[in-house]
């Protein structure tokens, strides 16, 4: 069997395209419950999870993240006073998630990123030992599987991601750390630059942000991180996996998207067009981001747009190119109007929303306390 080219080698060679939304997209498809956002689907509806993995791979993703968001035991028990409602353990879910990701990754030559996310024990102020124990249980499962690297994401407090990193190190695999912060920094007001430096000092080779904020805000936050890292002569690879929605009015908040009254199940009018994804991808690459992917709201066609935008740098088209050629190439839009064949046409279109009397922005719910997706 030929040796798999690892994540750090791939990042050193050029862009790496991440995958997209799992929990939110599985919820839309009827496989995940809005609210808890826990991944029981990996056991109860494995075919649904595997299909989504395969769609991201076909769209051009280089990495398949395990569907293990919010799969710690304390999260699975969260809000469930009747313990009989807890049907699956963290071990069981992480085990199944690793297997499904590996199947899809092997079919398409992708890498598997084992995913970790915040645990309620930290939010409740439990001891560091108890918090780390929740991460350790998941890391233990990952150690039994053929994963390529480990990715902690969606953290809003830099202290918690540092605790998580301490456990991740035990895997002896490349580490990626990603926070869901904007220009205002983390929950305690630690700036994006300081968060970046602290993440890099854990030894993680890949650091950045995901979720909560939109593409424009994410680029500003990454810029702040990069400036501070440069001052400290730290040069990790940068990762950026923003929301698949435009949410400019929350750019200066700490919590981001959850401040919107229509979050989480009425945000579809804000969905990015693939043209906006093309523009974001180019801007992120030009800024120095090597690992470009998407979080909540990023569907397979968004991932395709990222892979197509960077196809010159990657030296290849996504696997679906036979059906869906790159925008601007011969027949690239598969449309019959010659005017609409050009990239320039689509870059200048201002799509309507189709909703008379609706405003472009919403009045924020400043009292938002629910920090879940």
Q: Which residues of the chain form contacts with Zn ion (CB under 5 A)?
A: 211, 295-296
- Which residue, 109 or 266, is less far from Zn ion as judged by CB? 266
Q: Which candidate, 193, 158, 194, places its Cα nearest to that of 178?
A: 158
User: Looking at 188-301, which runs of residues are DSSP E strands?
Assistant: 206-210, 237-241, 291-292
- Which residue, 121 or 210, is less far from Zn ion as judged by CB? 210
- Which residue, 259 or 295, is less far from Zn ion as judged by CB? 295
Q: Helix, strand, or coil here: 302?
A: helix
CB 165 within 8 A of CB 204: yes
- Which residue, 215 or 327, is less far from Zn ion as judged by CB? 215
Q: On the CB side of 86, how many CA atoms lie within 13 Å of its CA?
A: 18
- Residue 322: partners with Cβ closer than 8 Å, 6 or more residues away: none
- Smallest gap from residue 175 Cβ to Zn ion (A): 20
User: Looking at 185-320, which runs of residues are DSSP E strands?
Assistant: 206-210, 237-241, 291-292
- Smallest gap from residue 161 Cβ to Zn ion (A): 15
- Which residue, 42 or 295, is less far from Zn ion as judged by CB? 295
- Smallest gap from residue 243 Cβ to Zn ion (A): 6
- Smallest gap from residue 255 Cβ to Zn ion (A): 13
- Smallest gap from residue 31 Cβ to Zn ion (A): 16
- Residue 84: partners with Cβ closer than 8 Å, 6 or more residues away: none
- Smallest gap from residue 151 Cβ to Zn ion (A): 13
Residue 113 dihedral angles phi and psi, to the nearest 5°? -105, 120
- Which residue, 76 or 209, is less far from Zn ion as judged by CB? 209
- Residue 278: partners with Cβ closer than 8 Å, 6 or more residues away: 305, 308, 309, 327, 343, 347
- Which residue, 244 or 319, is less far from Zn ion as judged by CB? 244
Give the pair of three-digit tokens for residue 372: 């879940």
Q: Which residues pair with 207 in a beta bridge?
A: 177, 238
Work out the angle between the directed axes of helices 274-287 and 215-231 (0-180°, nearest 10).
10
Q: Helix, strand, or coil here: 52?
A: helix
Q: How many CB atoms lie within 10 A of CB 204?
A: 25
Give the pair of three-digit tokens for residue 204: 């993680």
Distance CA 137, CA 330 (A): 51
Q: Helix, strand, or coil here: 237?
A: strand
Cis peptide before 145 (omega within 30 of 0): no
- Which residue, 281 or 333, is less far from Zn ion as judged by CB? 281
- Smallest gap from residue 300 Cβ to Zn ion (A): 16
- Smallest gap from residue 245 Cβ to Zn ion (A): 10
Distance CA 290, CA 46 (A): 31
- Which residue, 49 or 327, is less far from Zn ion as judged by CB? 49
- Which residue, 19 or 74, is less far from Zn ion as judged by CB? 19
- Smallest gap from residue 210 Cβ to Zn ion (A): 6
Q: How many CB atoms lie within 10 A of CB 348?
A: 9
- Smallest gap from residue 244 Cβ to Zn ion (A): 9
């Amino acid at each position: 069997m030929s040796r798999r080219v690892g994540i750090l080698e791939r990042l050193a060679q050029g862009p790496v395209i991440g995958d997209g939304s799992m929990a939110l997209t599985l919820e839309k498809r009827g496989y995940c419950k809005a609210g808890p956002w826990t991944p029981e689907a990996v056991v109860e509806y494995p075919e649904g999870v595997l299909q989504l993995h395969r769609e991201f791979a076909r769209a051009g993703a280089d990495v398949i993240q395990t569907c293990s968001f919010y799969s710690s035991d304390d999260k699975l028990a969260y809000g469930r006073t009747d313990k009989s409602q807890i049907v699956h353990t963290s071990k069981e879910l992480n085990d199944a998630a690793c297997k499904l990701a590996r199947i899809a990754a092997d079919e398409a030559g992708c890498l598997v990123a084992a995913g970790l996310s915040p645990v309620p024990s930290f939010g409740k102020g439990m001891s560091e030992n108890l918090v780390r124990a929740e991460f350790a249980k998941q890391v233990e499962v990952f150690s039994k599987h053929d994963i390529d690297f480990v990715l902690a994401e969606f953290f809003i407090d830099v202290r918690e991601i540092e605790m998580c990193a301490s456990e991740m190190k035990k895997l002896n695999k490349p580490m990626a750390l990603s926070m869901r912060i904007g220009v205002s920094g983390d929950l305690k007001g630690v700036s994006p630059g300081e968060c970046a430096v602290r993440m890099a000092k854990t030894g993680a080779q890949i650091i950045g942000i995901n979720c909560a904020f939109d593409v424009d805000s994410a680029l500003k936050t990454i810029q702040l991180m990069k400036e501070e890292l440069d001052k400290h002569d730290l040069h990790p690879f940068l990762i950026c996996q923003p929301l698949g929605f435009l949410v400019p009015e929350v750019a200066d908040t700490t919590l981001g998207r959850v401040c919107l009254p229509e979050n989480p199940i009425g945000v579809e009018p804000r969905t990015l067009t693939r043209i906006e994804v093309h523009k974001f991808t180019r801007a992120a690459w030009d800024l120095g981001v090597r690992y470009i992917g998407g979080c909540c709201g990023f569907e397979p066609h968004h991932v395709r747009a990222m892979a197509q935008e960077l196809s010159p740098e990657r030296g290849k088209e996504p696997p679906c190119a036979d059906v869906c050629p790159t925008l601007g190439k011969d027949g690239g839009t598969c449309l019959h109007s010659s005017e609409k064949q050009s990239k320039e046409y689509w870059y200048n279109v201002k799509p309507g929303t189709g909703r008379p009397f609706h405003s472009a922005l919403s009045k924020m719910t400043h009292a938002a306390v629910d920090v879940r997706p």
